[in-house]
Amino acid sequence: MRKWNFCAGPAVISEDVLLEVQSETLEYNDIGSSVMEISHRSKIYKNLANEAKEDLKEILSIPENFEILFLQGGATFQFTMIPMNFKHLTGTADYVTTGTWTKKALNEGSKIMNINNIYSSEDDNFTYAPDLEKLSYSKNASYVHYCPNETIQGNAIHKIPKIDKPLIADMSSVILSAPFDVSNFALIYAGAQKNIGPAGLTIVIIDKDFMKNGNPNLPNLLRYSEHSKSDSMLNTPPTFSWYVAGKVFKWIKKCGGLDYFKEQNNLKASKLYDFIDKSDFYSNPVKIENRSIMNIPFILSDSLLESAFLAESEQNGLLNLKGHRSVGGMRASIYNAMPLEGVLELIKFLDYFEKKYG
């Protein structure tokens, strides 16, 4: 039996999507085999791949001057691929460090080029974040990198900034949670396994003019423009993940698009934060204006109760509430595919557990 799954990633996928995939597992569209068993160069696969791209374009209102790439290597590989492509412009870039992932991006990027860590909230365990429009950037920075939703700390920058430098965002855990203006960015990337679909796929949305500036001397697999020229099929793409992501995009459209999910996600998060804030037993350390809508960490007033909490929550059908090993405590990831009902069940359990042990 399926239970409420609060895993940070790979994360819950809508049951509608999974059932559809199940119904096509043996045979897709009368072709005599599944999607997993056909060539990525076949007409049938190319059609579904392109449809996924077009649906994503529609959902996010991605302007014509942006390319959408379906790559591999995860968000983590982008920590390397971005500096490799754009180092040669000025040799330097500015990074905003608000959690584990941006710190990793900074460390990986620093192996390749000069990176200025222009802002860090590490002094307070990444529990707050800046307004990017108020930061000052290095004159010669080729680009500015930040993460609007730090998945581990639940530390978010909600305002999509307008700055006069090419802006790059790691949107792995927040993409598709609400509409936003893609044109503010030079490059957006996201690993699929949070809000898009199965692991193995990485979405990159890149301004075509910015893409043209990429270092032409890199091997093809490292070049955005080469991936673009080949419709993300320089080599065999992760065909199954791409196919399921396409189904997720159709499901998003059917539900009412990103306006619908924005409303639902805000509702889910506010119900959970309200409960946590009213309780003396649970708490969330993140500054209110920076609280994530997608990943909600919380700690118990008595950390000795953590193992009982995890065991009992699981018995009550609530899975994967353990916080990331680096920060401890608990974390509820409530992506698009987690319905309000699941969050209400979680709140019911939090209440029960507090009354029993608090």
Ligand X SMILES: *Cc1c(COP(=O)(O)O)cnc(C)c1O
Q: Which residues does the annotation mark as catalytic? A: 101, 170, 194
Nearest-approach distance from CB 331 to ligand X, in angstroms: 12
Nearest-approach distance from CB 147 to ligand X, in angstroms: 5
**CA pair distance 72, 238, nearest whole angstrom:** 7
Q: How many CB atoms lie within 10 A of CB 335?
A: 27
Q: Which of 151, 290, 313, 333 binds ligand X (CB under 6 A)?
A: 151
Phi, then psi, of 214 in degrees rounded to 5: -60, 150
**CA pair distance 335, 322, nearest whole angstrom:** 16
Question: Is the CB of 9 or the CB of 285 nearer to ligand X?
Answer: 9
Nearest-approach distance from CB 161 to ligand X, in angstroms: 17
Choose the binding region for ligand X from 70-78, 88-96, 112-120, 209-217 (rule: CB under 6 A). Answer: 70-78
Choose the binding region for ligand X from 19-27, 83-91, 166-174, 256-264 (rule: CB under 6 A). Answer: 166-174
Question: Is the CB of 145 or the CB of 353 nearer to ligand X?
Answer: 145
Choose the binding region for ligand X from 30-38, 73-81, 85-93, 332-340 (rule: CB under 6 A). Answer: 73-81
191 touches ligand X by CB under 6 A:
yes
Query: What binding mask, one character per residue, do residues 83-122 give for ligand X by CB under 6 A, x or -?
Result: ------------------x---------------------
**CA pair distance 276, 297, nearest whole angstrom:** 10
DSSP 126: T
Which residues face 95 on adjacent strands? 117, 145
DSSP 1: -
Alpha carbon 305 to its chain's center: 30
Number of residues that bind ligand X (CB under 6 A): 12
DSSP strand E in 44-129: where? 66-71, 92-97, 114-120
Nearest-approach distance from CB 338 to ligand X, in angstroms: 16
Nearest-approach distance from CB 193 to ligand X, in angstroms: 6
142 touches ligand X by CB under 6 A:
no
Q: What share of the chain is helix, strand, coil (3-state, %, to 5)?
A: 45, 15, 40
**CA pair distance 175, 226, nearest whole angstrom:** 24
Nearest-approach distance from CB 126 to ligand X, in angstroms: 12
Q: Which of 21, 35, 56, 75 binds ligand X (CB under 6 A)?
A: 75
173 touches ligand X by CB under 6 A:
yes
The residues, ordered by sequence, that sit 6+ positions from 57 with a Cβ below 8 Å of its Cβ are 68
Q: Which of 66, 67, 74, 232 binds ligand X (CB under 6 A)?
A: 74
154 touches ligand X by CB under 6 A:
no
Choose the binding region for ligand X from 71-79, 205-213, 239-247, 332-340 (rule: CB under 6 A). Answer: 71-79
Nearest-approach distance from CB 151 to ligand X, in angstroms: 3
- Select from 284, 282, 285, 286 the least CA-distant residue to 301: 282
- Amino acid (one-letter) located at 11: A
249 touches ligand X by CB under 6 A:
no
- Amino acid (one-letter) located at 250: K
Half-sphere exposure (Cβ direction) of 330: Cα atoms closer than 13 Å: 30
Choose the binding region for ligand X from 169-177, 215-223, 224-232, 247-255 (rule: CB under 6 A). Answer: 169-177
Handedness of CA 299, 301, 304, 306 (dihedral sign): negative
Q: Which residues bind ligand X (CB under 6 A)?
A: 9, 74-76, 101, 147, 151, 170, 172-173, 191, 194
